[in-house]
Amino acid sequence: MKVLFNMSAIMVKELTKRFGEFTAVDRVSFSVETGELFGLLGPNGAGKTTIINMLTTLLLPTAGDAEIAGYDLRRDPARVRNNIGIIFQDPSLDIGLTGRENLEFHAMMYSIVSDEREERIREVLEVVGLSDKADILVEYYSGGMKRRLEIARGLIHYPKVLFLDEPTLGLDAQTRRSIWDHIRKLNRNYGTSVILTTHYMEEADYLCDRIAIIDQGKIIALDTPSGLKKRLKGDCVSLDIEGKVDLIASALGKKEWVKEVARNEKMLDVIISDYEKNIPDIFRTASSLGIGIRSINFSKPSLEDVFLRLTGSTIREQEGSRLSVRRERMRRRMLR
């Protein structure tokens, strides 16, 4: 059973980082509870990596305070490092060693004694599903296997907080889903608090208990995934109309539960509230006007929609993630 949130694993207060005249992180404050999966989302250059670098003691803050696992970031950096694990975006495994040897070397760096090392290596290999691949050279691992081994390595010293920087970047969809399941498993089994940065909105939605959206060095929203999505005005219904599109558009535009109506050739995009309750009225209205509806498509607000609303741009960078012009127009209407 997952550890219940009962204390803060991370406390951040007014954390700030300046590089000359440029403020990369501007008085950021948040907390992460024990056993919580916490997401940091933001466009490139928003300040996510700078925050992670400060919290992992790789970068000194200009101002502000932070505690990790009860240790002050400035006064006890060594104790902070002993209580965190880090999986960086760029691979850092020794491909000339086996998976087991990579873990053995990392455990020795944390002064874990021989008998305990063996048990911990067995345990973390099982968590990430690599027990049967432990004695294969890492150079023969797939991308997903390497990522899982890096996660295992980050767990070897039982960190209270694990930082995952784009843990599935560049992996195919099936491998990403497998990594997600392993992250959830370690979170459940160890009660490890996790801070995740990602460009995949579905990843954040699936994994995170709460998400902070960062833009221009500031947190502009912090809530659960469902809470963030509730900020949007309504749902989008796309109608393929058979008949007078302008006539039904005018009729629907008078309904109090219709937020906006937009015509797109023979299609009609309608932004509505309370979809389940009001969708039958769309059909009744069309029938009363003698207008047919060939098809209807419905889309719920997503984290991508929230991100677009708050930052003015989409976050996705991978191939195949670009939206069609028509779909993008629908999004923007939903977010006004």
Q: Which has the minimum average pLDDT: 49-58, 77-86, 272-281?
A: 272-281
pLDDT at residue 300 tops 80: no
| Predicted local confidence at residue 272, as pLDDT | 87
Instruction: Report CA-CA distances (Å) from 259 to 149, 244, 254, 302, 310.
Output: 49, 21, 10, 18, 19
Whether the CB-CB separation of 28 and 16 falls below 8 Å is answered with yes
Domain boundaries defined on the chain? 8-229, 235-335
CA–CA separation, 214 and 271 (whole Å): 27
Choose the CATH number for 235-335 among 3.30.70.100, 3.50.50.60, 3.65.10.10, 3.90.1170.50: 3.30.70.100
Gap between the Cα atoms of 101 and 121, Å rounded = 10
| Residue 279 pLDDT | 87
| The pLDDT of residue 234 | 76
According to the model, what pLDDT value does residue 264 have? 67
Distance CA 271, CA 76 (A): 53
Distances (CA, A) of 150 to 60, 174, 236, 289: 25, 18, 41, 62
Single pTM value for the model: 0.75
**Long-range pairs of 227-231 with CB within 8 A, sequence gap ≥ 24:** 228/303, 228/306, 229/300, 229/301, 229/302, 229/303, 229/305, 229/306, 231/306, 231/309
Q: How high is the mean pLDDT of the chain?
A: 85
Q: Is it true that 8-229 and 235-335 share their CATH fold? A: no
Considering only residues 262 and 151, tell me which one the structure prediction assigns the higher pLDDT: 151
- Which of these ranges, 1-5, 90-94, 179-183, 248-252, has the smallest mean pLDDT? 1-5
Domain 8-229 in CATH 3.40.50.300? The answer is: yes
What are the structure tokens assigned to 200, written together?
């995949």
Choice among 9-13, 136-140, 175-179, 279-283 with the minimum mean pLDDT: 175-179
Query: Average pLDDT, stretch 6-20?
Result: 91
> How much is the pLDDT for 330?
45
Instruction: Report the pLDDT averaged over residues 11-18.
Output: 97
Beta bridge partners of 60: none
